[in-house]
């Protein structure tokens, strides 16, 4: 069962998403939030597998919500559902910690594909915007912290050394490394190092 949280300040949007999601086999909506702070509180309480986050929310906007959720609740995968199709919005969302980006005019089948992909640990970009995003730096899908981990990894530091330098636990560093590999679609350290060099992250 995929446990999902919805965060959007429009009641009708949340109701529509809930109806669509609950019609999908093995998907359960465990909570709804009307703003970013409530979303974080409910993520902490329910620990959903996936959280659908709107970018324009009161009290705490979507980007801040993504950043805090990614930092404090890494087990909850984050999927942005927004009306904004412009590449800068997508770039910011991915950098803030989103694993996927879906437009609000998507149909039910695309919603299902996105939720299943993100909840399974993968990534999803709606086809309408994936081309524009792909044209930019490959590292744009990483958060600031993940870029730091990739840079240190490419410089030859061990996970233990990275944890000490960044003030993180060993487990968190390993989680970041796994997320980097998933987001970039690279399964070995050598491939990560080559990409880091190619993108100018290390000399």
The model's pLDDT over 138-192, given as tens digits with 9 standing for 90+, comes to 677 788 889 899 989 988 899 999 999 999 999 999 999 888 888 887 888 888 8
Please compute, for residue 120, the number of CA atoms within 13 A of its CA located in the half-sphere on the CB side. 10
Q: Candidates 3.40.50.2300, 3.40.50.720, 3.40.50.1220, 1.10.10.10; correct CATH number of 2-134? A: 3.40.50.2300
Domain ranges of the chain: 2-134, 138-198
Sort 75 into a burial class: Cβ within 10 Å, 0-12 / 13-18 / 19+: exposed
Could you tell me the pLDDT band of residue 14, with boundaries at 50, 70 and 90? very high
Look at residue 56 and give its three-state secondary structure: coil
pLDDT of residue 132: 55
pLDDT tier at 133, thresholds 50, 70, 90: low
* 135 pLDDT above the threshold of 70: no
Q: Is 8 helix (H, G, I), strand (E, B) or coil?
A: coil
Q: Which pLDDT value is given to residue 126?
A: 83
Query: What integer pLDDT is reported at residue 203 of this predicted model?
Result: 57
pLDDT at 108 over 60: yes
Query: How much is the pLDDT for 2?
Result: 95
Q: What pLDDT is recorded for position 89? A: 82
What local confidence, expressed as pLDDT, does residue 187 receive? 81
- Which candidate, 129, 132, 45, 42, places its Cα nearest to that of 81? 129
Is 87's pLDDT higher than 80?
no
Say yes or no: domain 138-198 is CATH 1.10.10.10: yes
Residue 142 in tokens: 């990483």
pLDDT at 84: 87
Mean pLDDT across the stretch 89-106? 87
| pTM tops 0.95, yes or no | no
Structure tokens that stand for 184 in this block: 């970039």
pLDDT tens profile 29-64? 999 999 999 999 999 999 999 999 999 898 899 999
């Amino acid at each position: 069962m995929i446990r999902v949280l919805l965060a959007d300040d429009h009641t009708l949007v949340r109701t529509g998403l809930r109806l669509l999601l609950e019609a999908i086999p093995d998907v359960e909506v465990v909570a709804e939030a009307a703003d970013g702070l409530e979303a974080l509180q409910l993520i902490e309480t329910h620990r959903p597998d996936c959280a659908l986050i709107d970018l324009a929310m009161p009290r705490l906007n979507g980007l801040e919500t993504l950043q805090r959720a990614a930092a404090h609740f890494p087990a909850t995968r984050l999927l942005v559902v927004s009306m904004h199709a412009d590449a800068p919005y997508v770039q910011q969302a991915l950098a803030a910690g989103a694993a996927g980006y879906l437009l609000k005019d998507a149909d039910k089948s695309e919603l299902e594909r996105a939720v299943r992909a993100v909840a399974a640990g993968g990534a999803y970009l709606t086809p309408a915007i994936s081309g524009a995003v792909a044209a930019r730096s490959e590292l744009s899908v990483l958060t600031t912290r993940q870029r730091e981990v990739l840079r240190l990894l490419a410089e030859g530091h061990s996970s233990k050394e990275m944890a000490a330098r960044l003030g993180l636990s060993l487990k968190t560093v390993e989680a970041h490394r796994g997320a980097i590999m998933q987001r970039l679609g690279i399964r070995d350290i050598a491939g990560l190092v080559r990409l880091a060099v190619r993108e100018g992250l290390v000399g």
